[in-house]
Amino acid sequence: MLTSRTMPWILALSAAIVCSAQAREYRYSDAHLHYVDFFQESAGMDELLEKMAENNVDHVMFSGIPVAKKWDEDEPKRPRYYAGDDANAYWYSATDVFIAAAYKRLPAEQRKRFHPFLSGFNPNDKNADAHIRRMLELHPGLWQGIGEVFTRHDDLTALIHGSAPRANNEALARVFHLAAEYDLPVMLHSNITSKREREPLFLEEIEAPLRNHPHVRFIWAHAGTSAEIHRHQEKLDFLLETVERMLGQYPNLYIDLSWTMLRPYLLDADGKPDPKWVHLVSSYPERFMLGSDVVGRFGSLGDYMKGFDPFLDALPEDVAHKVARDNFLSVLPRRVQADLPK
């Protein structure tokens, strides 16, 4: 029997149930997606569109893979990944042909959700900027960014034919000038350290472009971390303070939180948000973005993107929605942003 005494308790309980049922829902931009794998193969657009629809992914950075893994004459079985055997990989420009073709086959209403990034060039070749310019002219208005540019990338770097690229070399300086001319963001993979050194050994390689090209918006893939680094060092203790300093120093730096950033940095071993990273992201609410870093297969897209939800829930709600969706869109060329649905 309801009485004046019991009613407030019931109302309070009902309010608590309603609040718990009204958990935040996010819509996402995947700021780091590879449509093809290291063999330039893909599960295809139907699967990608299906997984985007199932998992509230409104927008994707749409890129190829700038290298192809060789099936060596002496290997009896085809490798399934670039690290599957010791055979080399090589720079592969046709990856952008596949991206352009897939994009052009999309219905017009879907194209605004896909943001093609051009990646098929050798970062050590001072002809790279001329090649990129030709691609921009061949497909006017199609390309919306450059990357993921592979520079220091663990064992993959050692497998690629030729000398290892560095983010601060002359060839890429020419590319960055072109990016500024066309208002294109650049995603760089540049490891912050080696597998064993417990200091930011290679930091100058990413800082030099940030300093020398202030008009280019740089997205630092995984904040310089990688799975191979974490196999030898479980966690980089210097990462947070380094990223914090760099964000304060370089207003053209943006951080991609994909792959190796969710754990062990954003979430601890128990899956709880790290308060220091929550504070850092909240302090720079427009400088972080999410990504799946899926490679040619899209079945796990939702698991990767929704895996960030516990961290997003710890952020102020307006910041969480920026990180989940809007920050990636904010680095795209101004002409693209002007045409995005409001």
Residue-wise pLDDT tens digits, 189-203: 999 999 889 999 999
**Looking at domain 26-339, which of 3.40.630.30, 1.10.599.10, 3.20.20.140, 3.40.50.2300 is its CATH number?**
3.20.20.140
- The mean-pLDDT minimum among 14-23, 50-59, 146-155, 194-203 falls in 14-23
Q: Is the pLDDT of residue 162 over 50?
A: yes
Between the ranges 73-82, 146-155, 309-318, where is the mean pLDDT highest?
A: 309-318
- Bridge partners of 220, per DSSP, are 188, 255
Q: In terms of C-beta density within 10 A (0-12 exposed, 13-18 middle, 19 or more buried), how is residue 254 classed?
A: buried
Q: Which residue has the tokens 């093609």?
A: 116
Q: For residue range 58-96, list pLDDT tens digits in order.
A: 999 999 999 999 999 999 999 988 888 989 999 999 999
pLDDT value at residue 158: 82
pLDDT value at residue 11: 44
CA dihedral 67→145→208→327, nearest 10 degrees, is: -120
Q: For residue range 221-238, list pLDDT tens digits in order.
A: 999 999 888 888 889 999
pLDDT band of 17, cuts 50, 70, 90: very low
- Bridge partners of 62, per DSSP, are 33, 116
Q: Are 176 and 219 in contact (CB under 8 A)?
A: no
Q: Are 234 and 228 in contact (CB under 8 A)?
A: no
Residue scoring higher pLDDT (147 or 162) = 147
Q: Over range 258-263, report the average pLDDT.
A: 95
Q: Which residues of 146-164 are buried (b: 16+ CB within 10 A; e: fewer)?
A: bbbbbbbbbebbebbeeee
Q: Are 296 and 36 in contact (CB under 8 A)?
A: yes
For residues 152 and 70, what is the distance between their CA atoms, to the nearest angstrom? Answer: 20
- The mean-pLDDT minimum among 44-58, 99-113, 158-172, 262-276 falls in 158-172
pLDDT value at residue 154: 83
pLDDT value at residue 24: 95
Model confidence, pTM:
0.92
Q: Taking Cα atoms as reference points, which of 166, 159, 197, 183 lies closest to residue 79?
A: 159
pLDDT band of 161, cuts 50, 70, 90: confident
Token pair listed for 238: 């210097």
For residues 259 and 290, what is the distance between their CA atoms, to the nearest angstrom? Answer: 9
pLDDT value at residue 22: 59
Helix (H, G, I), strand (E, B) or coil at 237: coil
Residue scoring higher pLDDT (180 or 154) = 180
Q: Taking Cα atoms as reference points, which of 302, 317, 279 lies closest to residue 25?
A: 317
pLDDT value at residue 18: 40
Q: Over range 14-41, report the average pLDDT.
A: 79
Name every residue whose Cβ is closer than 8 Å to that of residue 49 and which is 6 or more positions away in sequence.
Answer: 110
